[in-house]
Amino acid sequence: MAVPVLPCFKHSTFYLTMPASPALRCFRAASFGRLFAVSAVFATFSTIAAPPPEAGDPMPLPMATAQPLSSTAEQIFTQARPRLLQIRTLLIAAQKQSSIGSGFLVGADGFALTNYHVVSQYALEPQTYQLDYLAPDGTRGRLQLHAIDIANDLAVVRLEPSDNADGAQPPRDHFTFNPSAVAGALPKGERLFAMGNPFDLGFTIVEGTYNGLVENSYQPRTHFTGALNPGMSGGPAVTADNRIAGVNVAKQFGGDLVSFLVPAAAAHALVEKARHSEAMSQAGVREAIREQLDAWQSGFFAALQEEGFRAASFGPYRAAESSAAWFNCWARTNSGTSTKLRVLINDASCDTRTALFLANNMSSGQANLSHTYMKSIDLNVLQFATLVSGRMQPSLMFGPRRRYTPQQCYENFLAPDDAHPNRPVLRVTWCARAYRDFPGLYDVAVAAVTQDNSKEALISRLSLTGVSYPNAIAFAERFLNTLEVSR
């Protein structure tokens, strides 16, 4: 399992690659062991013979012969097994695996599909890692990277050609796409079958249900009610006719059988694009990621701007929340938590369910807006100011220093003006850091606290990841200009 993708108040979504660290493997296997034991083992009903009837006893009604729990799954797996791959990222210096995931053949010429996050270490650092595959029959070999789609977390790889004089690939059995799935026309409730190699225990098949696209999500994901586990990332999810309906990508931690697939349409499009492509160089990979991130964030923040803001009240203050349906909002209060409350604190937070995986400990494409209203009950002015200042401190931006520049922060005051006469005086902190690997992209955090009252305050925060500087400035300016007070 890799890094959390979408942390929110109550649940987190996790990618399904498997780290090679024994300590992590044991911990995560223990955490998910019960779920895995239930989902990955296929039981069968056995027929229990009844004693023959005594003479004169009424003849019992005929009973249908008991069938396997899912003979369809058995047939699908038997047919699909030669098309499956375990994809391994190896540390070149040690020739030991660093992470593992799954993949599957989509062409007779050796093209295969998986998740980008399964191959990300190799994609960004081919001088340190190599990409190998292991087939169910024990065949091993190297893989070449031919295409990536960061937004949909997909990658197309190709089994390296044999040592034949002409370098030709022997024809390989492979999956095809379900046309209804590619068209987005699968009926909700259709049975799907997901395959992969969970916890490096061997290839398995899991039955589940297609539940359409996740609602209120900017990035399309298919909701799959079935048990996906670490190591199954990049594996296929197929319909009963053994055609591709999606690609395993993530699961929701804290929920039962809440898993996600990349829709078939995105997977089919990338495969078609990759069929006549050359293997990607490291420079080509980085350029493709930069171009895709730039295009994605431009569309994302343009959509945010177009959706606009709605006003929310916090005591005498009014502040902005996004009107976009793909923001997930939560609220909490300390009211009622103590018999002698000294300060009232109400929090509201909205964040996107969207995040783009770039590398371990590095994700992009998220937006978060939060507001904290504080009102003193029996604190003096100094005590209240100290409490507010403590909560106003800039948020630390975590991540490997080789991926990001150091965080830099600036502070200033923003006063009301003719265009915004109801805006209170604000103390504003702006923090930003740049992506070392992808010039022109930044993580930005903005915090503003009202300065108009010694007993009440509103702290408003905006956090954006993987954004261009012009988009960050435009969005932050609009966010700050929505803050108002009425007294």
Burial class, 316, CB count within 10 angstroms (exposed 0-12 / middle 13-18 / buried 19+): middle
Residue 484: per-residue pLDDT: 94
User: 209: Cβ–Cβ under 8 A, 6 or more apart, which residues?
Assistant: 189, 190, 191, 192, 224, 225, 226
Cα-based distances in Å from 159 to 109, 110, 122, 258, 354: 8, 5, 15, 32, 32
Lowest mean pLDDT among 29-43, 135-149, 368-382: 29-43
Residue 313, pLDDT > 80, answer: yes
What pLDDT sits at residue 20? 55
Place of tokens 């048990």: 227
Instruction: Give the pLDDT of residue 485.
Output: 94
Q: How confident is the model at residue 396 (pLDDT cuts 50, 70, 90)?
A: confident
Backbone Cα Rg of the chain: 27
Residue 139: burial class (beta carbons within 10 Å; 0-12, 13-18, 19+): exposed
Digit-coded pLDDT (tens) for 214-256: 998 899 999 999 999 999 999 999 999 999 999 999 988 777 8
> Above 50 in pLDDT, residue 6?
no
Q: Higher confidence at residue 2 or residue 179? A: 179
Q: Would you say residue 7 has pLDDT above 70? A: no
Beta carbons within 8 Å of 308's beta carbon, 6+ residues apart: 322, 323
List the beta bridge partners of residue 369: 350, 462
pLDDT at 104 over 90: yes
Q: Does residue 205 carry a pLDDT above 90? A: yes
Q: Which SS3 state, helix, strand or coil, does residue 1 take?
A: coil
Residue scoring higher pLDDT (486 or 332): 332
| Dihedral sign, Cα of residue 262, residue 5, residue 126, residue 439 | positive
- The reported pLDDT for the residue numbered 27 is 28
Q: What percent of the chain has pLDDT over 70?
A: 84
The angle subtended at Cα 66 by Cα 64 and Cα 68, nearest 5°, is: 145
Check the CA dihedral 294-299-301-302 and report its sign. positive
How much is the pLDDT for 193? 97
Distance in angstroms (rounded) separating the CA atoms of residues 331 and 315 = 15
- Do residues 66 and 47 lie in contact, with contact meaning Cβ atoms separated by under 8 Å? yes
Q: Which residue did the predictor score with more confidence, 162 or 389?
A: 389
- pLDDT confidence band for 280 (50 / 70 / 90): very high
Distance, CA of 226 to CA of 21 (rounded, Å)? 26
* pLDDT tens for each residue of 356-386: 999 888 888 899 999 999 999 999 999 999 9
To the nearest whole number, what is the mean pLDDT of the chain?
85
Regarding predicted confidence, which is higher, 233 or 164? 233
Single-letter amino acid code for the residue at 485: V
pLDDT over 70 at 39, yes or no: no
DSSP bridge pairs for 449: 427, 459
| Tens-digit pLDDT profile for residues 51-83 | 344 444 444 434 334 445 468 999 999 999 999
pLDDT top residue among 7 and 308: 308
pLDDT at 186 over 60: yes
What DSSP line would sit under 51-99, residue for residue? Answer: PPPPTTSPPPPP-PPP-BTTHHHHHHHHHHGGGEEEEEEEETTTTEEEE
Give the pLDDT score at 70.
Answer: 63
Which amino acid is residue 302, in one-letter code? Answer: A
In whole angstroms, give the CA distance from residue 485 to residue 415: 12
